[in-house]
Structure 1
Amino acid sequence: MNNDKKQLSGERSEELLGVLKTRFEKHMERHKGLEWAKIQVKLEANAGQLQTLEEMEITGGEPDVVGLDETTGEYLFYDCSAESPKGRRSICYDHAALESRKEYKPENSAVGMAADMGIEILTEEQYRQLQVLGKFDLKTSSWVQTPANIRKLGGAMFCDRRYDTVFVYHNGAESYYAARGFRGALRV
């Protein structure tokens, strides 16, 4: 995680906690059995992760709690925006793909943005878990973590939901489209 992030002001922290609480209460189906008060205590104790959630929010991710890791006691936040986060679209997969483009380079890559934000790109498994909680990416698609053997050959994977089914596709890692971004995960 990027350690040189600015901390949120007390006022903005309260505003963000209010946004997260409202979203939590509106979508209880995403986190059955979890209590907001316990999550808020964790968030208030870690300003860096709250700042990361702010960055997820600013880029259109609409982060929400989707579970609790019983082993570590960490809450799992995923981007739960209906479509791939708007502020993270039109980007290729990773830095190597970005550098390989001779012209019309996008501004960034999914892997680079995720690292800068302090989040992980969803894996295919996490993406499928998210789709159990709702219907996401009906018009857009999202890059997902790509296995090294596929990436070594120049490819990258992305997912979307069409015809009430989650599809996994491939593309050249250097490709980018206005309707493709990425979703992230954060442990708090």
Structure 2
Amino acid sequence: MANNHHKQLSAEETTQILKILKARFNQNMNRHEEIKWAAIQSKLETNTEKLWSLNEMEKTGGEPDVVQYDKKSDTYTFMDCAAESPKGRRSVCFDREALDSRKEHKPHDDAMSMAAAMGVRMLTEQEYRLLQSTGEVDLKTSSWIATPAAIRELGGALFADRRYNTVFVYHNGASSYYAARGFRSALEI
């Protein structure tokens, strides 16, 4: 079992998550056509905290995969590529402030706190649209996305999904939560 305090995986967990990530990478080359797995694995093996975060993404149903590479900074971006919003991150309001504002029927957690605890961040609208360009996701669910401060200060938050072959970005009260809404995350390495 992972030691969450130190964000380290055991040797067995490391082997297992690398095997899962490599298989997913090879099965979905359309997401990263000109990227080689060996370079990614080398970075992952020397960055145990990032590997721990990817394992958290996997454990909560995100099915992380490489979606972007920045040559200038030599940075790979993993995103949750699960067909629907990750099951282990649904029924949560947007952030701690929203959770604390609920008087009754509070959800078990909030998306921003969960992301921080996992060592990841919520997708931006631009990243969400990039992810949708690699394959259709959130056809039945929706996902909270990073929200501009001006919207959040007024009590709102953004979420997105795909309906009618179109990606939609909507708003909702940040304290709302639904069984079919979770959040998608990104991690750079």
TM-score grouping bracket, smaller chain normalisation: over 0.9
Is 1:114 aligned to residue 123 of structure 2? no
Counterpart mapping for 1:1-188 below 5 A:
4-188=5-189
Rounded Cα–Cα distance in structure 1 between residues aligned with 2:131 and 2:68: 10
Amino acid at match of 2:42: V
Shift of the alpha carbon at 1:119? 0.4
1:48-79: CA deviation from partner (whole Å, max 9, x where unpaired): 11000000000000000011122211110000
In the TM superposition, structure 1's runs of 4+ consecutive aligned residues that sit over 2 Å from their partners are 3-6
Unaligned runs of 5+ in 2: none
1:113-147: CA deviation from partner (whole Å, max 9, x where unpaired): 00110101000000000000000000000000011
Rounded Cα–Cα distance in structure 2 between residues aligned with 1:91 and 1:11: 31
1:22-65: CA deviation from partner (whole Å, max 9, x where unpaired): 00000000001000011000000111110000000000000000
Rounded Cα–Cα distance in structure 1 between residues aligned with 2:121 and 2:70: 16
Rounded Cα–Cα distance in structure 2 between residues aligned with 1:11 and 1:22: 17
Rounded Cα–Cα distance in structure 1 between residues aligned with 2:7 and 2:68: 27
Percent of aligned positions that are identical = 61
Rounded Cα–Cα distance in structure 1 between residues aligned with 2:7 and 2:166: 40
Amino acid at match of 2:47: N
Shift of the alpha carbon at 1:6? 3.6
Unaligned runs of 5+ in 1: none
Rounded Cα–Cα distance in structure 2 between residues aligned with 1:127 and 1:100: 27
8 Å CA contact 1:5–1:51 kept in 2: the answer is no
Amino acid at match of 1:175: S
Aligned residues: 186
**Matched residue SS, 1:42:** helix
State TM-score, norm by structure 1: 0.97
